[in-house]
Amino acid sequence: ADQMRVAANSYLGHRVTVTSDDGPPVTGDVSAIDASGDEPLLVVGDATYPLSAVLRVEPRVVTVPPPAGAGAK
């Protein structure tokens, strides 16, 4: 169970594609982990998904704003 929580936490902030019970796969960012039950669940949008539903994981994208005054002449 602890190993599953560690695995679930590693998805935080990442974009995942998960299988959905009621339609096509869902893609979104993992915003939280719900560890209230026996198996941790990934929170994607307004829904939760078990780790077994993950089809794809993409790295988090970090954007850096340009320095102040960049491009201004």
Please check the confidence at residue 65 and state whether its pLDDT lies above 90. no
Pairwise CA distance, residues 16 & 19, whole Å: 10
Q: Tokens representing 57?
A: 């994981």
Please check the confidence at residue 73 and state whether its pLDDT lies above 60. no
pTM score, two decimals? 0.78
Please check the confidence at residue 71 and state whether its pLDDT lies above 80. no
Q: Which residues pair with 29 in a beta bridge?
A: 15
Give me the sign of the Cα torsion angle 20, 26, 53, 1.
negative
Please check the confidence at residue 69 and state whether its pLDDT lies above 80. no
